[in-house]
Amino acid sequence: MDWFNNFWSIYSNLVLSLGTNALLALSIYLTLACGMLSIANAAFMGIGAYTSALLTMNYGAPFPAVLAAGMAAPALMAFIIGKPTLRLSGVYLAMATLAFGEVVRIALLNAESITGGALGLNGIPQLTQWWHVALALVLTLALLWRLRRSRVGRAFESIKEDETAAGLMGIDVGAYKMLAFVLGAAIAGLAGALNAHLTFFIGPGEYGFDRAVDILTMAILGGISNLTGPVIGAVILTLLPELLRAFKDFRGVVNGFILVLIVLFLPKGIWDPARFRQWFGKRGGRI
Amino acid sequence: MLEQQLVNALSLGSVYALFALGFTLIFGVLGVINLSHGAVYMVGAYAAEQAVAHLALPLWGALLFAFGFSGFMGLLIDVLVLRPLRARNAPHLIPMIATIGVGIILTNGIQGIFGAENLRFPLGLVPDTTLSLGGLSLTALELGIILLSFVLMALLLLALKKTQLGRALRAIAESPKAAYLLGINVEGLFYLTSFVAAGLGGVAGVLIGLSSNALYPLMGKSMLEKGIAVIILGGMGDIRGALIGGLFLGFAEVLSVAYIGSSMRDAVAFGLLFLILLVRPKGLFGTLLERKV
């Protein structure tokens, strides 16, 4: 097991950030599955991260409670802003949630006495174990998988296909959208809380526009036709910069090229069951 | 010093408007949120700097060069990335992700070539004369920025309103399919739009690079965020909206820095944006163009 210990001591952070990134990708998948392009997830992640980190550092709260609070705070926030925001659709929803994300980032930046301002919070105890991340991911996947096949999941699907028709069929569009939004925020908050207790430093810059775009990219790149896609997208986008170290100064360029090529040649994302079925005949069924 | 602040606001706002104009033009005509527009803006600034440093071009030549270079960049992006996606009728999020990739390539490419540290335009490129107008002092640079931005915007507006080309473009904005059936060269106009929009972005990059006198690979990032705010404020795809939204944002920022504090600069912009969207979901001028979106 020597090689494993070696590997783990070097790459444990990377492996665990695979897990948190997968959670983030799933959180945006949930809203996308309901037909909403909401990119406030970076902000929700930030709210979760700060809430949990502050609880640990200032009040020494137990870790499970901290995680719960890290999910509850962004969920509550999502509930509050959900009502007016979810009236918007398409690009406008995307932009409103983006603007909300910026407001959160700037609020974190300016509430210096609580959040440490631009310096962020330092010395967060490293409480996240590998199995915390694994368990969170498995539970989230199980929940979302169960949800997909339930009444709720079917409602999401129909809202995504045609909102008006779904409404006419008696589906409470507003309530289901709110559910997806709040649940997505909670998952993003969980990822934030786990991540904060992993990296031992957090700052407002981590939860801005770039992170929002990253999260969206993971989900779209992997494919959002099912749960596997976002996870694969998260894995690829997390590993890619590491794998490209050999390119030194130009690794970002290569990274970008790969992103563009994937989008150009696999427009439905990497994990696309329809394409697999085409390749392997009809036997594949629903993957 | 309110008047002085207003002058600063006008020059900042006119650059925002110029940047947002290209951004909104691409959205209106191609239906793509082009997230590489910030990187193209940065490339324009670098192109001008290189033109001045190595080709010894005068300022107007450098501006022209930046327009052409970043315009060509925009054309290239359209031909290589957006056209194949159009041909495949990819859902609207996909081109947006592709432009994120393009932005990453450009930003990291410039950083790989020129390094991450700041570049500067040589001193004396802009005459440092100051004009005083009834108690106001206007530097040549400020005046130049305001004039150039407004002239370019006026030209574009006129072209869209009065020329046959402009009518064709507006027809495409309405419905590319119908425009195609009417015999309009849709692809050609897509290329033209990408060229002009990117060119305007590049010129905006030079102007901001001159006024802050610092070029760095990530300079397009904050501009892109501002650009998004502006076109949402004004209504996506609306030209006048971009103009007024840009000026509005410029004024809001400068005045908030002057009277509230510099740290609130971005909070004002995005807070306003958030509020406006809640009250007017389609932006200030959105109702007229609802069909387009």
Which of A100, A248, A264 to mutate against chain B (most B CBs within 10 Å)? A264
Facing residue for B101 by CB, picked from A98, A109, A263: A263
Q: What pLDDT sits at residue B169?
A: 87
Count the Cβ atoms, other than its own, within 10 Å of residue A2: 6
Say whether pLDDT at A86 is over 70: yes
Confidence of residue A190 (pLDDT cuts 50, 70, 90): very high
Q: What pLDDT sits at residue B288?
A: 43
Q: What pLDDT sits at residue A99?
A: 83
Contact B207, B19 (CB under 8 A): no
Q: What pLDDT sits at residue B16?
A: 92
Q: Quote the CA–CA distance of A127 and A63 in Å, as a whole number.
A: 7
Q: What is the pTM of this model?
A: 0.85
Which of B278, B282, B293 to mutate against chain A (most A CBs within 10 Å)? B278
Residue type, B182: L
Which of B108, B117, B265 to mutate against chain A (most A CBs within 10 Å)? B108
Confidence of residue A162 (pLDDT cuts 50, 70, 90): confident
Facing residue for B100 by CB, picked from A88, A100, A213: A213
CB spacing of A260 vs B101 below 8 angstroms: yes
Q: Which domains does chain A have, with CATH numbers?
A: 10-286 (1.10.3470)
Q: What is the DSSP letter of B121?
A: P
CB spacing of A107 vs B267 below 8 angstroms: yes
Q: What pLDDT sits at residue A9?
A: 78
CA distances from B180 to B79, B166, B172, B228, B289 (A): 18, 15, 8, 29, 20
B88 CA: distance to closest CA in chain A (Å):
9
CB burial of A222-257 (b: ≥16 within 10 Å; e: otherwise) equals bbbbbbbbbbbbbbbbbeeeeebeeeeebbbbbbbb
Of the two residues B7 and A70, the one the predictor is more confident about is A70
Q: What pLDDT sits at residue A116?
A: 84
Q: What pLDDT sits at residue B192?
A: 92
Q: Quote the CA–CA distance of A93 and A112 in Å, as a whole number.
A: 30
Q: Which residues of A touch B35 (CB under 8 A)?
A: 213
A151 CA: distance to closest CA in chain B (Å):
27
CB spacing of A209 vs B225 below 8 angstroms: yes
Q: Which residues of B touch A256 (CB under 8 A)?
A: 101-106, 108
Q: What pLDDT sits at residue B276?
A: 79
CB neighbours of A181 closer than 8 A, spacing ≥ 6? A31, A36, A38, A78, A82, A86
Q: Which residues of B touch A91 (CB under 8 A)?
A: 33, 236, 293
Q: Which residues of B touch A103 (CB under 8 A)?
A: 267, 270-271, 274
CB spacing of A260 vs B273 below 8 angstroms: no
Q: What pLDDT sits at residue B275?
A: 80
The ipTM value here is: 0.83
DSSP secondary structure, B213-255, as one string:
T-B-TTHHHHHHHHHHHHHHHH-TT-HHHHHHHHHHHHHHHHH
Chain B residue closest in CA terms to A259: B101
Q: What pLDDT sits at residue A281?
A: 67
Q: Which residues of B touch A (CB under 8 A)?
A: 33, 35, 81, 84-85, 88, 90-91, 93-94, 97-98, 100-109, 111-112, 221, 225, 228-229, 232, 236, 263-264, 266-267, 269-271, 273-274, 277-278, 281-283, 293
Confidence of residue A287 (pLDDT cuts 50, 70, 90): very low
Which of B26, B36, B97 to mutate against chain A (most A CBs within 10 Å)? B97
Q: What pLDDT sits at residue B293?
A: 35
Chain A residue closest in CA terms to B111: A249
Low-confidence ranges of chain B (pLDDT < 50): 288-293
Say whether pLDDT at A286 is over 70: no
Chain A residue closest in CA terms to B281: A88
Q: What pLDDT sits at residue B286?
A: 61
Q: What pLDDT sits at residue B7?
A: 86
Q: Which residues of B touch A102 (CB under 8 A)?
A: 225, 266, 269-270
CB spacing of A264 vs B270 below 8 angstroms: no
φ, ψ of residue A66 to 5 degrees: the values are -65, -45
Chain A residue closest in CA terms to B35: A213
Helices (H) and strands (E) in chain A, counts: 13, 2
CB burial of B99-136 (b: ≥16 within 10 Å; e: otherwise) equals bbbbbbbbbbbbbbebeeeebebeeebbeeeeeeeeee
Q: Which of A83-87, A274-278, B43-47 has the lowest mean pLDDT?
A: A274-278
Q: Which residues of A touch B263 (CB under 8 A)?
A: 106, 109-110
